[in-house]
Structure 1
Amino acid sequence: MEKLLVFIPAYNCAKQVPRVLFQLLDPRVKPWVGECIVVNNRSTDDTEAAVQDWRRRHPDLPVRLLRNDENYGLGGSHKVAFGYAADHGYEHMVVLHGDDQGAIADLLPVLESGSYRQYDCCLGSRFIRGSRIKGYSWVRVLGNHGFNVIFTLVARRHITDLGSGLNLYAVEPLKTRYYQKFPDTLYFNCCMILTQCYLKQKLMFFPISWREEDQISNVNKLTSFGLILLKLCGQYLRSPKAFVAREWRSKVIDAYTYTEIPVQQ
């Protein structure tokens, strides 16, 4: 059985991140976990304290706490984790968001069948047969379906989710760091998907369960988010090659550095 790196991006999710860590204790999941890194993106709440408390109570699970040296955004935290996975010899890395909307157990059928080895990326999808959504309004569901259709037409690949909080990446394709110039914002995943399609990487989508309960919602940002997605599609259509090569960041960062935080007794 392969040992995977589990990456948990965390920002102001003190209430939720312990629940996410508890998912790793599932006897079906635990054997797959080689190591877990919680990447704290300079949270302003008690996220870090919550992780430390969990680590003290569960020393048997290899959980490392990394604190970004700056607030790099969600995309920047991915870049930290991708680099960590490559530097530490992992073949595959799981992304499991720290806000406890997704369930890592949904990845088990993909892992246990071994089918994940045939793909460069396995993406959790909230909007395909077999998925389950709780707490989403019909407006949000309809909007997501609409953008999935637009991205499918633009990328010429069947896209069923632009970025959930449960994904599995093969590390080898990431070693070129083709993602380095992508935005460090929430749009990072969208740029990843379009670029993976351009690079003809092998993608698969698998159904997941998804819930929104006590998490911080981005519903008020949906209009601006949608406009930016349309702009991304337009720029990709004009020149996919230029889209992949361009600098997307408003602030260029040469190295996404972090500090490892030891367990505090």
Structure 2
Amino acid sequence: MADQRILVFIPAYRCASQVTRVLDQFDDSVRRWVDTVIVVDNRSPDNTLDAAIGHARARLPSLRFIGWRNDDNYGLGGSHKAAFRYAIEQGFDYLVVLHGDDQADIRDLVPELERGSHREVDCLMGARFMPGSRLIGYSFVRTLGNRVYNLLFSAVAGRRIYDLGSGLNMYRLAAFQDFYYKTFPDDLTFNYVMLLGSYHAGQRVRFFPISWREEDQVSNVRLFRQAFKVLSLLGGFMVRRGAFLREPLRARPFERYSGQIVYRQEGQQDPARQEVQQDPARQ
């Protein structure tokens, strides 16, 4: 059976000191599964992309790595769209989303890959609020708020939702070829609408527990404004369902979420990764 090519997409904005730690997560246990890592910088005002490129070049020469800069400030959701488009056009089978602020850990995904969970679903979603997850430095108030919103979305979607948008998710790209999510929000609410869209489309969604920590990260979320916006989106979906998902939900429409490859390193074929891809029992 053909190899299953996995692209890890790291959205990055103003996280120069954290993105290098994220890249350090790619030890042998992770690299054996991963084909390519792409850091997508959303026009950061600091040296986020330079830090990522320098770290990959100096510390991870065996990693197949791409440093990408968006042509415009597309927001977190827009960066997702750029990555989905690139992954599909380049023939990858799966896209892993790992946020560049070093709150999630991609090594939490490895047991799921070893079990073959990704081949049984369309969306494999990391969850901070399910049995087996670990929260480090996350406030009680934010934890409570997330749990309440998870219950509200579960009631509307008719499915048990353990997290609306963590920093670690995996998607089977065959289910996302038609780019139906192009008009979804480009901001931080993209993940919420994307999850509702997946359920509405009848996609198979599964959650798995992850670890999550808050240390020196800088949040770009205005909590109360975000909370009301999320409720508005949920209400729109509850009333209009598919018609709501087909509406233009972006504040600013972009015809194409384009960018430039600033740096590329081919890396070296990892024997452990090659063994994983060629083992018929794992295909």
TM range (shorter): over 0.9
Tell me which residue corresponds to 1:76: 78
Q: Distance in 2 between matches of 1:233 and 1:48?
A: 34
Q: Distance in 2 between matches of 1:52 and 1:151?
A: 38
- Structure 1 residue corresponding to 2:20, chosen from 6, 9, 18: 18
SS of equivalent residue, structure 1 residue 261:
strand
Q: Distance in 2 between matches of 1:60 and 1:111?
A: 21
Amino acid at match of 1:250: A
Q: Distance in 1 between matches of 2:113 and 2:153?
A: 27
Q: Distance in 2 between matches of 1:167 and 1:238?
A: 27
Tell me which residue corresponds to 2:140: 138
Give unpaired runs (5+ residues) of structure 2.
Answer: 266-283
Contact 1:40 1:67 in 2 (8 A): yes
Amino acid at match of 2:34: V
How does the TM-score come out when normalised to structure 2?
Answer: 0.90
Q: CA deviation at 1:250?
A: 1.5
Tell me which residue corresponds to 1:235: 236
Q: Distance in 1 between matches of 2:66 and 2:213?
A: 26
Counting matched residue pairs gives: 262
Amino acid at match of 2:46: D
How does the TM-score come out when normalised to structure 1?
Answer: 0.96
Tell me which residue corresponds to 1:245: 246
The root-mean-square deviation of aligned C-alpha atoms, in Å, is 1.3
Tell me which residue corresponds to 2:68: 66
Tell me which residue corresponds to 2:172: 170
Tell me which residue corresponds to 2:270: none
Give unpaired runs (5+ residues) of structure 1.
Answer: none
Tell me which residue corresponds to 1:213: 215
Q: Distance in 2 between matches of 1:52 and 1:207?
A: 30
- Between the aligned residues of both structures, percent identity stands at 49
Contact 1:124 1:205 in 2 (8 A): yes
For 1:186-205, what aligned pairs fall within 5 Å after superposition?
Answer: 186-205=188-207
Contact 2:103 2:212 in 1 (8 A): yes
Tell me which residue corresponds to 1:103: 105
Q: CA deviation at 1:224?
A: 1.2
Tell me which residue corresponds to 1:128: 130
Q: CA deviation at 1:129?
A: 0.3
Amino acid at match of 1:163: G
Contact 1:6 1:36 in 2 (8 A): yes
SS of equivalent residue, structure 2 residue 257:
coil
CA offsets 1:158-201 (integer angstroms, 9 cap, x no match): 11101000000000111110110001000000000111111111
Q: CA deviation at 1:116?
A: 1.3
Q: Distance in 1 between matches of 2:23 and 2:139?
A: 28
Contact 1:55 1:263 in 2 (8 A): no
Q: Distance in 1 between matches of 2:231 and 2:20?
A: 36
Q: Distance in 2 between matches of 1:38 and 1:214?
A: 20
Q: CA deviation at 1:223?
A: 1.2
Tell me which residue corresponds to 2:28: 27
Contact 2:8 2:37 in 1 (8 A): yes
Tell me which residue corresponds to 2:271: none
* Runs of 4+ residues over 2 Å off in structure 1: none
Amino acid at match of 2:241: P
Q: CA deviation at 1:59?
A: 2.3
Q: Distance in 2 between matches of 1:12 and 1:150?
A: 32
In 2 relative to 1, CA 75–142 (structure 1 residues): closer, same or farther, beyond 3 Å? same
Amino acid at match of 1:160: Y
Q: CA deviation at 1:121?
A: 0.3
Higher relative contact order (Cα pairs below 8 Å, separated by 6+ residues) = 2
Amino acid at match of 1:232: L
